[in-house]
Amino acid sequence: MMLIKQDISLKPYNTFGIDVKARYFAEIKNEQDLEELFMSREAKEEKLLILGGGSNMLFTQDFNGLVVKMAIGGISYILNGNAIELTAGAGVVWNDLVMFCVTNNFAGLENLTLIPGTVGASPIQNIGAYGVELKDVFKQCRVFEIATGQFLTFTYEDCKFGYRDSVFKNEYKNKYIVTAVTFNLSTEAHLKTHYGAINAELEAQEITKPTIADVSKAVAKIRVSKLPDPTTIGNAGSFFKNPVISKTQFNQLMVNFPDVVHFDMPDNQVKIAAGWLIEQCGFKGIRDGHTGTWKNQALVLVNHGNATGQEVYNFSEKIITEVYTKFGVCLEREVNVF
């Protein structure tokens, strides 16, 4: 029977390690739990927060409502020639899924190695790294409609994916809960090694004909060198999105900052490396009270042990202000703030 708990600390459930409480807390292990939960008074009357791995959020205060921790597991797949249709439960740890695919030589997710969080959050955020985004391998997801209690299927088109964005963060925010995600993968690898330092890492290992396992290991090594382990120091990975600006604004920026790290995008747009902007403002590796930026990556904000969520938020405000003052570029937080 599904149990609703009261006054539960959320410190173990967010990778920043912020010590706040949830007034009510429920863990969902299957779809029946979800149906049962939404027959309860708490689910009908209280403010809701759907929680996956807690790796993309910053709590600035106690949550006066119901936190729903998604813990639906399971991985299954169908082979059809070289094509693989793989489905994973919303509570599956994302990197566990990636390792399952790499082990079984299912190509498509290898560039997304070591992204924190769970499968259920992947389409909401349209997670991405090293030239690959969730939308590139997404087929569909199964969702629970809160208002009706029905289970529905959302296709690629339904999700309206954008850069770190989807319909679930906009018009359908807080209206659906993802219970499972289905991916289109393949036994034939079409490796993407041009982004970031993947090629350089493969060359350093003298690998000339890489496999998906080689790419996954290269990505893991790069990420570990740049990003701190949340089990040793609280963080939510990349705190800010890489800003996307017009080609016109970029050309103006290049006049004063010809070394700006950037990536060309479709539709006459350019993506700017947020970490580079933050580092140029002198924020890399600094400490500000109990928070600060990571020594190897200015894009990552950290909790040195006793930071409050408000302290981290205030520090992020300083960064946003300084970057805008220096570059005229507005940073947007990638994390969700509560």
Pick the catalytic residue: 164, 216, 223, 316?
164
Choice among 145, 279, 322, 334 that is catalytic = 334
- Answer yes or no: are the C-beta atoms of 80 and 94 closer than 8 Å: no
Q: Is 238 a catalytic residue?
A: yes
HEC per residue, the chain: CCCEEEEEECHHHCCCCCCCEEEEEEEECCHHHHHHHCCCHHHHHCCEEEECCCCCEECCCCEEEEEEEECCCCEEEEEECCEEEEEEECCCEHHHHHHHHHHCCCECCHHHCCCCCEHHHHHHHCCEECCEEHHHCEEEEEEEECCCCEEEEEEHHHHCCECCECHHHCCCCCCEEEEEEEEEEECCCCCCCCCCCHHHHHHHCCCCCCCHHHHHHHHHHHHHHHCCCCCCCEEEEECECCCEEEHHHHHHHHHHCCCCCEEEECCCEEEECHHHHHHHCCCCCCEECCEEEECCEEEEEEECCCCCHHHHHHHHHHHHHHHHHHHCCCCCECCEEC
- Asked if 334 is an active-site residue, the reply is yes
- The residue annotated as part of the active site, out of 55, 166, 238, 316, is 238
Active site residues: 164, 238, 334
